[in-house]
Amino acid sequence: MSSSDYAVFARGLEKRYGDKRALDGFDLTVEHGTVHGLLGPNGAGKTTAVRALATLIRLDGGRAEVGGADVAREARQVRSRIGLTGQYAAVDEILTGRQNLEMFGRLFHLGGTLAARRAQELLEQFDLEAAADKGAGGYSGGMRRRLDLAASMILAPSVLFLDEPTTGLDPRGRSEVWDSVRNLVTGGTTVLLTTQYLEEADRLASRITVIDQGRAIADDTPDGLKATVGGSHLEVVVAEAADLPAVEKAVARVARGATETVIAERRVQAAVTDRVAALTDVARTLQDEGIAVEDIGLRRPSLDDVFLQLTGDRPAQDRDADGAYATYEKTEAAA
């Protein structure tokens, strides 16, 4: 497949700030009409990558195309095809929701009539019509975030960059934003999502790239990434610690490898291959032996497990890519 087959295509991206490499040969491909997650530890290079792809900073090496346009040679075309929503909602809390959107429309040179029409369309699309003429300062966190998303869609961009869109939101607000993102993708928008919430990436993204120290260290579907950690685990929590040896023996019979027993939690777990058969076998054995259990079930690896296995536990200063950007930016401003 060529670069034109992707909404975002990047190869060998490099960005340096002094002696720090924020991006160090970073590769990324994002398919059209999907949500693609970009995960990594703090300072891994996520924000630097988004800024580079959005033409906000210049690369020191590599090449990238967004929406079919080269970010270095065709920056103006790239900007006309993208939307960008940062970590915090950029709305005027004094203005109403409608006025906010009309203001953004005028800033994009739509003209009064067209800006008003587009604002109305977006208020309906993001389920904000009932609060359209109320001050944005009275909106909930989820509503402000949806208004911010609506503002980024004024020109109906084909590619939308979302940089940690649900930071600070409660579960209800986060769910509202997730629904809005899903609706955008259904309408044909491609979304590149950076997030610290692994559940968010699991729920939204059809593919995930893990970045660390400015490089892509993994790229796969959520299920594919989980499979790298291992298959399903059978877990049994017993009512009485005295029953642990018998439970361990029953689990060992169906385990793929060694069992793990945590006495303090009265828990026995082990990796299994035939999930349903293993669960049925152990449950029947424990019932026949009259062993009381508080919980028994199959546990799949989570993206948290993947994240920790891939990125390890290095000190923050060893992976300070985006931190290098922030330090450099402050130094330049002072100069």
71-100 tens-digit pLDDT: 999 999 999 899 888 776 678 889 999 999
Task: State which fold the 231-300 domain adopts.
Answer: Alpha-Beta Plaits (3.30.70)
Backbone conformation region of residue 68, classed left if phi is above 0, alpha if psi is from -120 to 50, else beta: left
For residue 1, the model assigns a pLDDT of 55
Strands in 87-158 per DSSP E: none
Q: Could you tell me the pLDDT band of residue 333, with boundaries at 50, 70 and 90?
A: very low
pLDDT surpasses 90 at 60: yes
Q: Residue 275 corresponds to which tokens in the numbers above?
A: 């999930």
What CATH superfamily classification does 3-227 receive?
P-loop containing nucleotide triphosphate hydrolases (3.40.50.300)
The sign of the dihedral angle between the CA atoms of 164, 103, 8, 13 is negative
Q: Could you tell me the pLDDT band of residue 317, with boundaries at 50, 70 and 90?
A: very low
Between CA 52 and CA 45 the distance in angstroms is 10
Q: Where are the alpha helices (DSSP H) in 12-55?
A: 46-53
Q: Could you tell me the pLDDT band of residue 226, with boundaries at 50, 70 and 90?
A: confident
Helices 321-334 & 46-53 angle (0-180, nearest 10)? 60
For residue 30, the model assigns a pLDDT of 96
Q: Could you give the percent of the chain with pLDDT greater than 70?
A: 91
A 10 A CB-CB count for 305 gives: 16
Q: Under a CB-based contact definition with an 8 Å cutoff, are residues 285 and 278 in contact?
A: no
- Determine which of 85-99, 188-202, 206-220 has the lowest per-residue pLDDT on average: 85-99
- Determine which of 115-119, 147-151, 202-206, 304-308 has the lowest per-residue pLDDT on average: 304-308
Between CA 48 and CA 63 the distance in angstroms is 15
Higher pLDDT, 94 or 302: 94
Q: Residue 192 corresponds to which tokens in the numbers above?
A: 């590149």
For the chain, which residues make up each domain, given as ranges?
3-227, 231-300
Contacts of 326 (CB under 8 A, 6+ apart): none
In the block, tokens 């295509």 appear at 9
Q: Could you tell me the pLDDT band of residue 134, with boundaries at 50, 70 and 90?
A: very high
- Per-residue pLDDT, averaged over 251-262, amounts to 81
